[in-house]
């Protein structure tokens, strides 16, 4: 019979090996009485959903530099925030980010609630994010379970039930270990353990603070866990993106509806995305279809976009969208799939008579 896992062993490891992150208050700072800023914790947790730490760091630092607190973010223009978010994906998060900031600023005097129940009432905050903010920012006793924690728990307890079916079982296993003291540090410690030692491939069991109580290590099954149900093949959708440049250098862009994929983001006018998209040019022009497609993968499907380009004179009036002057157009503010379209189209205009 293996020994029981002890939270104290993990916290001692965390005190020595905690990752340094721009939104984190480290264990030394916590010991000195410095508490995390709930705004930074919330912003980082929203950004980290479905996105890696390495990708998020630069976005987080830009957001904090431009909007240093929740009141500043609440007062921001929607387009400015969506532009800064471009490239992070899952754009509903950015829309909810603004909604949440405005509720906190208007209804909570700029202070985040400190309980999981109250946090759940805010726009865009679900069970995981509420638990994470409550634990990390306010040291509430909450069980925080992300993908790293699921992997650690599956191996620690040798749980072979496949994900996502195993989520309740893994959450319960994690809850039994959540300590009354330093629950915020503990939550981050388990995530750090999964990110740096109990990694998806080739876990470094020899230096793990929980190597002795780890049942999967004892059974030799750690490399097989967590098990996952087979993924269904993603369908492929097709579409047409229309890139128009006016003779004065302006670009024709449209802002997508708030609801739906890429909601609220600037992009090129285009057709529907389906198996057989219907052409939908935003104006009459001599369209040239490029030989290459813009390809992108979303969570639930692959997308292949034909790119049609045209150059028009300054008297033209589009049926959809607005012309953005060349000096105000920033490709970096486009979502990734729209930047891919631009990269293909940009060079084509040099060849248009």
Q: What would the pLDDT profile of 34-65 be if each residue is shown by its tens digit? A: 999 999 999 999 999 888 999 999 999 999 99
**pLDDT of 31 strictly over 90:** no
Q: Is-contact 173 153, C-beta < 8 A?
A: yes
Q: Is-contact 344 307, C-beta < 8 A?
A: yes
* 95/101 Cα distance (integer angstroms): 10
CATH of 236-351, picked from 3.30.70.360, 3.90.79.10, 3.50.50.60, 1.10.540.10, is: 3.90.79.10
Q: Is-contact 241 307, C-beta < 8 A?
A: yes
**45 catalytically annotated:** yes
Confidence of residue 263 (pLDDT cuts 50, 70, 90): confident
The CATH number of the structural domain formed by 7-224 is 1.10.340.30
pLDDT in tens, 244-255: 999 999 999 998
Confidence of residue 84 (pLDDT cuts 50, 70, 90): very high
Average pLDDT, the chain: 93
| DSSP at 301 | -
The pLDDT value given to residue 2: 64
The predicted model gives 322-341 an average pLDDT of 91
The neighbour count for residue 177, using CB atoms within 10 Å, is 20
**pLDDT of 349 strictly over 80:** no
The dihedrals phi and psi of 13, each to the nearest 5 degrees, come to -65, -45
* 283/172 Cα distance (integer angstroms): 57
Cβ-in-10-Å burial (0-12, 13-18, 19+) of 112 comes to: buried
Contacts of 337 (CB under 8 A, 6+ apart): 262, 267, 294, 296, 303, 305
**pLDDT of 111 strictly over 90:** yes
The active-site residue out of 3, 45, 142, 333 is: 45
The predicted model gives 23-29 an average pLDDT of 92
| DSSP at 319 | S
The dihedrals phi and psi of 132, each to the nearest 5 degrees, come to -65, -45
Residue-range domain boundaries for the chain: 7-224, 236-351
The dihedrals phi and psi of 180, each to the nearest 5 degrees, come to -80, -30
Q: Is-contact 84 66, C-beta < 8 A?
A: yes
Confidence of residue 235 (pLDDT cuts 50, 70, 90): very high
CA angle 199-181-209, nearest 5°? 30
Closest CA to 85 of 266, 316, 349: 266
């Amino acid at each position: 019979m293996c020994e029981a896992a002890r939270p104290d062993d993990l916290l001692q490891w965390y005190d020595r090996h905690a990752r340094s992150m721009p939104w984190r208050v480290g264990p030394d700072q916590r010991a000195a009485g410095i508490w995390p800023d709930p705004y930074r914790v919330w912003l980082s947790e929203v950004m980290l959903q479905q996105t890696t730490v390495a990708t998020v760091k630069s976005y987080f630092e830009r957001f904090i530099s431009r909007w240093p607190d929740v009141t500043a973010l609440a007062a921001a223009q929607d387009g400015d925030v969506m532009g800064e978010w471009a490239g992070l994906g899952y754009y509903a998060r950015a829309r909810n980010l603004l909604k949440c900031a405005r509720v906190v600023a208007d209804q909570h005097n700029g202070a985040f609630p400190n309980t999981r129940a109250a946090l759940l009432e805010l726009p865009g905050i679900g069970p995981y994010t509420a638990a994470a903010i409550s634990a990390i920012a306010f040291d509430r006793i909450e069980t925080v379970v992300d993908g790293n924690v699921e992997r650690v728990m599956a191996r620690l307890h040798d749980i072979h039930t496949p994900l996502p079916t195993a989520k309740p079982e893994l959450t319960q296993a994690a809850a039994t270990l959540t300590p009354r003291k330093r629950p915020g540090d503990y939550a981050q410690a388990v995530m750090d353990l999964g990110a740096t030692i109990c990694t998806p491939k080739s876990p470094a069991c020899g230096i793990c603070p929980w190597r002795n109580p780890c049942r999967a290590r004892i059974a030799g099954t750690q490399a097989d866990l967590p098990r996952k149900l087979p993924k269904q093949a993603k369908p492929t959708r097709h579409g047409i993106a229309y890139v128009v440049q006016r003779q004065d250098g302006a670009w024709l862009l449209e802002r997508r509806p708030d609801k739906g994929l890429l909601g609220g983001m600037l992009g090129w006018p285009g057709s529907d995305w389906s198996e057989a998209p219907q052409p939908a040019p935003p104006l009459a022009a001599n369209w040239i279809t490029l030989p290459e497609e813009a390809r992108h993968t979303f969570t639930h499907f692959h997308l292949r976009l034909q790119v049609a380009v045209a150059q028009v004179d300054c008297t033209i009036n589009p049926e959809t969208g607005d012309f953005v002057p060349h000096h105000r157009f920033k490709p970096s503010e486009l979502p990734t799939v729209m930047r891919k379209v631009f990269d293909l189209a940009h060079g084509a205009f040099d060849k248009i008579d």
